[in-house]
């Protein structure tokens, strides 16, 4: 199949396919005599796998690791379990960050209950006075 058909069947864009090829997540396709990419069912399966991982917010490195496990089917899947456990912990950290963020935003919003001129806006004043938080390794702000 050509790239347009692969994109349609995988429900993504041709740019996404080219990007995953460039990142080394999707193996390059064979070329026809006319230099068109020629994809096979394995490409579609792998592309769907990558897209499912991305929908679970996995990084390219995590996906790369999972793909390498898939490419070595003779091994057991304990490293896969470990990778997923680490990803779950990362999600837990992000949930805690988002909860703190929500509290900060609610606090800011409560500082300005009625519209007024911008210099007297409680939200603007709060954002100006707020101390930036320390950088947290592993944070989405990294």
- Distance of alpha carbon 123 from alpha carbon 83, whole angstroms: 41
Q: Is the pLDDT of residue 141 over 50?
A: no
Q: Nearest CA to 113 among 105, 128, 123? A: 123
Mean pLDDT, rounded, of the chain: 90
The answer, yes or no, to whether residue 21 has pLDDT greater than 60, is: yes
Q: Which ranges in 31-142 belong to alpha helices (H)?
A: 41-55, 60-70, 78-110, 122-129
pLDDT for res 142: 46
pLDDT over 70 at 23, yes or no: yes
What's the pLDDT score for residue 120?
83
66-121: pLDDT as tens digits: 999 998 888 899 999 999 999 999 999 999 999 999 999 999 898 888 888 888 89
What is the structure's pLDDT at 54? 96
Query: Going by C-beta distance under 8 Å and a sequence separation of 6 or more, which residues neighbour residue 79?
Result: 65, 69
> Given this model, what pLDDT does residue 118 score?
87
Name the least confident of 4-8, 36-40, 41-45, 125-129: 125-129
- What per-residue confidence (pLDDT) applies to 25? 96
| pLDDT at site 137 | 61
Please tell me the predicted confidence (pLDDT) of residue 79. Answer: 94
Q: Look at residue 128 and tell me whether its pLDDT is greater than 70.
A: yes
């Amino acid at each position: 199949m050509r790239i347009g058909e692969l994109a349609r069947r995988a429900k993504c864009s041709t740019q996404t396919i080219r990007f995953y090829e460039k990142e080394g997540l999707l193996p390059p396709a064979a070329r026809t005599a006319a230099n068109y990419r020629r994809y096979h069912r394995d490409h579609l399966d792998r592309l769907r796998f990558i897209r499912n991982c991305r929908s679970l917010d996995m990084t390219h490195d995590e996906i790369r690791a999972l793909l390498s496990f898939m490419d070595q089917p003779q091994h057991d899947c304990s490293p896969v379990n470990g990778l997923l456990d680490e990803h779950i912990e990362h999600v837990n950290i992000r949930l805690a960050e988002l909860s703190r963020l929500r509290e900060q935003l609610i606090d800011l919003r409560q500082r300005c209950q009625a519209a007024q001129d911008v210099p007297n806006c409680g939200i603007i004043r709060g954002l100006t006075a707020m101390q930036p938080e320390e950088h947290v390794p592993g944070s989405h702000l990294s």
